[in-house]
Amino acid sequence: MEHLMAIILAAGEGKRMRSKKAKVLHEIYGMPLVKWVHQSVRKAGIDDTVIVVGHKAQDVKERLGDEILYAFQEKQLGTGHAVMQAQDYFVNKDGCVMVLYGDTPLITPETLKDAISFHKGNNNSATVITADVEDPTGYGRIIRSGDGSVLRIVEHKDATDEEKNIKEVNSGMYCFNISDLREALNKLDNNNSQGEYYLTDTIEILLNKGKNVGAIKIKDSDEILGINDRIQLAKAGEIIKDRILQRFMENGVTIIDPASTYIDQEVEIGMDTVIFPSTFIEGKTKIGEDCVIGPGSRIVSSQIADGVEVKNSIVLESSIDNETKVGPFAYIRPGSRIGKNVKIGDFVEVKKSIIGDKTKISHLTYVGDAEIGKGVNLGCGVVVVNYDGKKKNKTIVGDNSFVGCNVNLISPVEVKNNAYIAAGSTITDSVPENALAIARNRQVIKEDWVVKKGMLCKDKKG
């Protein structure tokens, strides 16, 4: 059976990053560089991946997990040497192997698929992924024959003046026939000034044996950009951000100001939703159609249904149902479930609570560890007092109840359906259905108290 696999080289230290952690673990959009590459490999239909680790190997393994195969390069003796460390995984196998780099996060699944298809379609022993770049300084140049096949790869330092004018460069990423790669690796030597084994030399070995070597040129040269320092890391982040936002806009999402908008790659957003400036949408968030999000909002790993508005607010690991309005300046904390047509107004905080359909919590209210029914009104300044100093307790408010301003609900407590609670009350006992609860002292008036106490303000004479 023909085998399809990938080898990702991720053993280097990356000194120019000036960091205590491995270069390939530096992140773009919360995901390590090497994982961006592995994600593209998986999306291209390649399930069998070997990552060659070296510097901070244990850190890389811990971050990526046990689902990936690993090879260890104890000493970094060149790219060819790195691939040699993975040979045990393709002994006695036939098929194709992609060789990629853990610091090239911009390579796309489509390019990998095209490279494999091109490689097989042309019966190549090796296929080089190339691109035209404006400034090819430092890159190996691709020298082609009249029929488009690769004659050789010339390193910049060895190139003639004419060859230096060639814009097509070697990305360092390849597709090999497994058997041909094995044979070329066996002939590889380190007879050079650096004493290293270069993967590029395998191309020369195959060409000298009369093998067919091709090159597939990709349109977007950004895909071959490697990350060597923090400046390039930021540039790659901008490119990935633009790709993500472009995908959403192509699918019918309006993004008012892409420059100030951050949306993670795993987010889903329905058509005709509008994203206002300074909005951050993170994690595995799913937003429906016809929503208005922002300005100045942050949503993390939450489910937002159709027609929802979230303005100047934070929503964390929660769900919000259809036509609900949140904000401005609301805070929906993890574990909350907000129903349909709910109003969560300004300076309202909801924590690990269920809010029923058509309920209004308009302003300056805290709801924690509670179940609030349908059609409930919580007035300004209501506080669910859910913590007794040792544990969190639950409050239940039944359907169609009315809780007046500045009410404290001391958990655990239950307010039954259709109950009313007078403003300023502190509720410690259950309130029956259809009842009115008043829990405050009667107002006392002491006539002329200020005069008798000598506290009356008198005008001062000059």
Q: Which pLDDT tens digit goes with each residue over 117-144?
A: 999 999 999 999 999 999 999 899 999 9
Q: What is the pLDDT of residues 349-397, one digit of tens each?
A: 999 999 999 999 999 999 999 999 999 999 999 999 999 999 999 999 9
Say how many residues make up the chain: 462
Q: Give the CA count within 13 Å in the CB-facing half-sphere of 311.
A: 11
CATH number for the domain that contains residue 81: 3.90.550.10
Same domain, 214 and 335: no
Q: Are residues 27 and 159 in the same domain?
A: yes
In a domain, 13, yes or no: yes
Give the pLDDT confidence score for residue 200 in this predicted structure.
92
The pTM for the full model equals 0.87
Q: pLDDT value at position 352? A: 98
Mean pLDDT for all residues in the chain: 95
Confidence at 260, pLDDT banded by 50, 70, 90: very high
Domain count, the chain: 2
Residue that terminates a domain, selected from 191, 224, 257: 224
Query: What is the mean pLDDT of the segment spanning 183-195?
Result: 90
Tell me the per-residue pLDDT of 161-172, one tens digit each, with 9 for 90 and over: 999 999 999 999
- Work out the number of other CB atoms within 10 angstroms of the CB of residue 62: 11
Judge whether 178 and 86 are in contact, CB under 8 Å.
no
Q: Are residues 52 and 193 in the same domain?
A: yes
* Burial zone of 113 (CB within 10 Å; 0-12 exposed, 13-18 middle, 19+ buried): middle
Contact 311, 297 (CB under 8 A): yes
**Domain assignment of residue 308, yes or no:** no
Whole-angstrom Cα distance, residue 346 to residue 312? 9
For residues 131-144, one letter each, b for 16 or more C-beta atoms within 10 angstroms of the residue's C-beta and e for the rest, the string is: bebeebeebbbbeb
Catalytic residue status for 363:
yes
Helix (H) or strand (E) holding 176: strand 168-177
Beta bridge partners of 17: none
Say if 259 falls within a structural domain: no
Neighbours of 44 (CB within 10 A): 21
Is residue 396 included in any domain, yes or no? yes
Residues in Cβ contact with 170 at an 8 Å cutoff, skipping those fewer than 6 apart: 128, 130, 139, 140, 141, 142, 153, 200
Question: What pLDDT, on the 0 to 100 scale, is given for residue 433?
Answer: 97
pLDDT at 459 over 80: no
372, part of any domain: yes
User: In the predicted model, is pLDDT for residue 458 greater than 80?
Assistant: no
Q: What average pLDDT does this structure show over 149-156?
A: 89
Tell me which residue range forms the domain holding 332: 313-437
Place of tokens 């609860």: 437
Task: Note whether residue 282 is domain-resident.
Answer: no
How far apart CA 409 and CA 414 sit, in angstroms, is: 9
Average pLDDT of 83-89? 96
Last residue of one domain, picked from the residues 155, 189, 224: 224
The CATH number covering residue 335 comes to: 2.160.10.10
pLDDT of residue 443: 86
Residue 255 lies in a domain: no
Of the candidates 38, 81, 119, 363, the residue annotated as catalytic is 363
Q: What is the mean pLDDT of residues 418-441?
A: 96
Question: Is the pLDDT at 220 greater than 80, yes or no?
Answer: yes
User: What is the C-alpha separation between 406 and 423, in angstroms, rounded?
Assistant: 6
b/e code 421-437 from CB counts within 10 Å (16+ = b):
bbeebebeeebeeeeeb
pLDDT at 53: 97
- Please write the tens of the pLDDT for every residue from 28-44: 988 999 999 999 999 99
How many CB atoms sit inside 10 A of residue 324's CB? 24
Model confidence at 67, pLDDT cuts 50, 70, 90, reads confident
Q: What is the pLDDT of residue 156?
A: 86
**65 within some domain:** yes
Tell whether the model's pLDDT for residue 462 goes beyond 50. no
